[in-house]
Structure 1
Amino acid sequence: MAGMVYAVVPVMSVVLAGLFAGLFFAFSIAVMPGLARTDDRVMIEAMQKINVAIINPFFAVVFIGAPAMALAQTVLHWAAGGTEAAWWAGAALALMVVTLVVTFAVNVPRNNALDRTGAPARLNDPAAVRADFEPVWVRWNHLRTLASTAASVCAVLAVIAT
């Protein structure tokens, strides 16, 4: 049983770290650039709908599971005496925590504010709503992308260091 844990936890950590980074990467390279090509009302409505759609079990498994597996990977390597692997896994966890902090400090409050504006068809000045939301959200999402991608690399390096 212990052997299976030592095999499964690092692999799951790497897979979930990749999915975690991929989520933010997709927004950086496809979703937000695509929405940038739409008019204000379309962009606002699409983001409002994305904010609802993203809250689902698959998202939860990745968003909560990736840091949980990074923590498990860190503890597992540390307990097994794999100091170098534990440091890499710990670095992955720290970078995921940075990603979560940015998410909850910047992106989620902006999403909530956008949702509170109401139906885009009823907005008097959708350009102003968009201008308050998009540039900051996108900038901080790029930071989440970089931090989570670095976390994914660290998770892989932890496996290699074993």
Structure 2
Amino acid sequence: MLQMLITGLLWFCAIGCGLLAGLYFAFSTFIMTALGRIGQASGIAAMNAINTTIVQSLFIPIFLGTTAASAALAVTALLRWSEPGAMAMLAGGVIYVLGMFIVTMVLNVPLNNALAAADPASDEAASLWARYLTDWTFWNHVRTVASTAASALFIAAIAAR
């Protein structure tokens, strides 16, 4: 029974990390570039609309559920270290929680909050928007790589089992 639960969590995390990696990849490769090209006020308004909408979508249950399951798998790997796939399970969980969840909460969300508080037409917003496009996107690249790596590691753990 426990083996089935672990396998189910591995599949959930592999798919969840993959879905989020794809979302972050889209932002890193073209969405942020497009928002930077449409003008400051429009770009800020669009990003604020995205940030408001995303927390009211299926993104949040997948974001939180994958994070919780990844943390649980990392702990399980430590407790069941001698089992096949434990190293990949631990690495996937740690990389995902640190590289995606912690980066999001400590770096991306505060940038989103600062952007939401800004007057899009102000001179201050111009500086904020330029910094946002650079900094938020850099940390989004980190989330993309972490989510992709975690997905691959969870798939490796499944294969090893």
| Short-chain TM bin | 0.7 to 0.9
Give the letter aligned to residue 15 of structure 1. I
- Measured against aligned partners, the alpha-carbon deviations of 1:108-133 in whole angstroms (never above 9, x if no partner) come to 11110111113x2x424543231232
Runs of at least 5 residues in structure 2 that lack an aligned partner in the other structure: none
Distance (Å, rounded) in 1 between the aligned partners of 2:158 and 2:82 = 10
Task: Write the mapping of 1:9-24 to structure 2, written as runs, cut at 5 A.
Answer: 9-24=9-24
Distance change (3 Å), C-alpha of 1:78 and 1:113: closer
Distance (Å, rounded) in 2 between the aligned partners of 1:4 and 1:94 = 22
Query: 1:55, CA displacement in angstroms?
Result: 0.4
Distance change (3 Å), C-alpha of 1:6 and 1:134: closer
Distance (Å, rounded) in 1 between the aligned partners of 2:84 and 2:4 = 21
Distance change (3 Å), C-alpha of 1:75 and 1:104: closer
SS in 2 for 1:71: helix
SS in 1 for 2:147: helix
Moved more, 149-158 or 54-63: 54-63
The equivalent of 1:154 in structure 2 is 153
Distance (Å, rounded) in 1 between the aligned partners of 2:13 and 2:130 = 37
Query: 1:62, CA displacement in angstroms?
Result: 1.4
Distance (Å, rounded) in 2 between the aligned partners of 1:143 and 1:3 = 32
SS in 2 for 1:83: coil
CA contact (8 A) 1:74 1:85 kept: no
Query: 1:65, CA displacement in angstroms?
Result: 1.2
Query: 1:104, CA displacement in angstroms?
Result: 1.5
Count of residues in correspondence between the two structures: 160
- RMSD value over aligned CA atoms? 2.3
CA contact (8 A) 1:16 1:66 kept: yes
Runs of at least 5 residues in structure 1 that lack an aligned partner in the other structure: none
- Measured against aligned partners, the alpha-carbon deviations of 1:14-56 in whole angstroms (never above 9, x if no partner) come to 1112112222112112311221221111111111111101102
TM-score (norm 1): 0.85
Distance (Å, rounded) in 1 between the aligned partners of 2:81 and 2:102 = 30
Task: Write the mapping of 1:19-34 to structure 2, written as runs, cut at 5 A.
Answer: 19-34=19-34
Distance (Å, rounded) in 2 between the aligned partners of 1:15 and 1:38 = 33
The equivalent of 1:145 in structure 2 is 144
Distance (Å, rounded) in 1 between the aligned partners of 2:43 and 2:67 = 30
TM-score (norm 2): 0.85
Distance change (3 Å), C-alpha of 1:36 and 1:47: same
Distance (Å, rounded) in 2 between the aligned partners of 1:35 and 1:74 = 37
Query: 1:10, CA displacement in angstroms?
Result: 2.2
Distance (Å, rounded) in 2 between the aligned partners of 1:130 and 1:8 = 42
The equivalent of 2:107 in structure 1 is 106
Give the letter aligned to residue 106 of structure 2. A
